[in-house]
Amino acid sequence: MKYESQAVAKPYFIAAIALFVGQVLFGLILGTQYLIGDFMFPEIPFNVARMVHTNLLVIWLLFGFMGASYFLVPEESERELYSPKLAIILFWVFLVAAVLTVLGYLLVPYSSLAAMTGNDIWPTMGREFLEQPTITKIGIVIVVLGFIFNIGMTVLSGRKTVISIVLLTGLVGLAVFFLFAFYNPVNLVLDKFFWWWVIHLWVEGVWELIMGAILAFVLIKVTGVDREVIEKWLYVIVAFALITGVIGTGHHYFYIGTPEYWLWLGSIFSALEPIPFFMMTLFAFNMVSRRRRDHPNKAAVLWALGTAVLSFLGAGVWGFMHTLAPVNYYTHGSQITSAHGHLAFFGAYVLIVITIISYAMPIIRGQAAAPEITQRFEKWSFWLMATGMVTITLALTGAGVLQVWLQRMAEEPMSFMATQDSITFFYWLRLAAGFVFTTGLFVYVASFFVGQKESKSTTVSE
């Protein structure tokens, strides 16, 4: 480890993995409730399980992005972190706020939670993915501003690289667009219009910058390819991601009361959104094939290549499948959307966080790479999780296609519940794949506890 302050990343990575486990366990509960409606009811109703599942996803990814930033920025800036103490304080504030919020979801009726946290004074609750109490949202803003201040001061007072600037731009965008979570207009069209400024412009906009920066950093380290080459790729990928992602927001404006031109703008630009993900795939495989060093951390290389491939499939291919307005007219809100969401989040953001953890944690522990047996566990974990998630995606796609046909296109459309009864086979398949995925996750967690007595004294220079 070149800089002592990089160790600040460790608690962020540990918290991220712990919350990831929680998210997946609630996913299993949800998958079971699709088949056995009363499962764990009334202790954990479906709407609460879904809220915890999606909120934990966002929270643990933010912990992962923060840990990644604290690890890579000192190296990119060639100086210690501006304030490690501030990073640790913000970690505990964020973790306590996250845990209290989840406990609030589980232990208090949502309406009571809203009343207890002053939602009547500044109403921001009750919207999908933005269910957090207003006071929690204010806490998130304080934590993110402190985090960006810390990272920004480190970047601005040290060496400035394309990676650190792209990362900082993505983090600032993350903070700015979250502010729209506080805007909750009475008009439903306006509400949905600006709601997407948080949801879409995070995951199909600024988060792609963060992902690209982390991927570029890891590829420089594990391949030894010249920084100039990787940075040129990053420039082009970021440009395409912003051009297509920002205007591509329009594919969420179909048939919600917005002007008709969004049908064209949304269709055209969102159809181009797979391009940056395809370029990321070419980028990763190209860099690995041109590598100038045989880095001992093979697991990190596998995670990086998996990120490129599965993000292209999930965000690119599965997104394109239902992004054109005439198709989306039938598929919107069906299980096809769920299939796209699962594979896109897993491929793009779950895997990039695991990639940086796989690369950074051995170094924080004083090793160039994890011991061989640890990497073997990681590789098994990758294939189990990837297989599980691809199967989940295929099952949801099958359920979605049948759902659209029976409920929305048939001459005598079936009701929602009757349709759900007709696609239970796919839900059983999804649940079985969920257990495979969970097994992979537990194997990944186990990888941190095996082989640590083996020592890797190998050092790798940049």
Confidence (pTM): 0.95
Give the per-residue pLDDT at 283.
Answer: 87
DSSP 447: T
Q: CB neighbours of 410 closer than 8 A, spacing ≥ 6?
A: none
Give the per-residue pLDDT at 268.
Answer: 95
What are the per-10-residue average pLDDT scores of the chain (462 residues)?
95 98 98 96 96 97 98 97 98 96 96 95 94 95 97 96 96 96 94 94 93 94 89 89 91 94 95 90 88 88 95 94 95 95 96 97 92 96 98 98 96 95 97 98 96 58 46
Identity of residue 440: G
Give the per-residue pLDDT at 454.
Answer: 64
Instruction: Say how far residue 337 (Cα) sits from the centre of its chain.
Output: 16
Q: What is the DSSP string of 341-404?
A: HHHHIIIIIIHHHHHHHHHHHHHHTT-SS--HHHHHHHHHHHHHHHHHHHHHHHHHHHHHHHHH
Task: For residues 80 and 71, give the distance between their C-alpha atoms in angstroms, rounded to a whole number.
Answer: 10
Q: How many CB atoms lie within 10 A of CB 326?
A: 9
Give the per-residue pLDDT at 292.
Answer: 78
Structure tokens at 281: 């795939």
Task: For residues 52 and 108, give the distance between their C-alpha atoms in angstroms, rounded to a whole number.
Answer: 13
Task: For residues 326 and 296, give the distance between their C-alpha atoms in angstroms, rounded to a whole number.
Answer: 49
Give the per-residue pLDDT at 13.
Answer: 98
How many CA within 13 A on the CB side of residue 339?
29
How many CA within 13 A on the CB side of residue 23?
21
Task: For residues 283 and 289, give the distance between their C-alpha atoms in angstroms, rounded to a whole number.
Answer: 10
- Taken in order 189, 191, 194, 198, the sign of the CA dihedral is negative
Task: For residues 414 and 196, give the distance between their C-alpha atoms in angstroms, rounded to a whole number.
Answer: 30
Q: Rounded to 5, what percent of the chain is helix, strand, coil?
A: 75, 0, 25
Q: Is 278 exposed, middle or buried (0-12, 13-18, 19+ CB in 10 A)?
A: middle
Q: Is 192 exposed, middle or buried (0-12, 13-18, 19+ CB in 10 A)?
A: middle
Task: For residues 308 and 280, give the distance between their C-alpha atoms in angstroms, rounded to a whole number.
Answer: 6
> For 179-297, where are the alpha helices, taking DSSP H only?
188-201, 207-223, 227-247, 261-271, 274-289
Residues in the chain: 462
Give the per-residue pLDDT at 461.
Answer: 46
Provide the Cα torsion 275, 277, 281, 284; round to 10°: 120
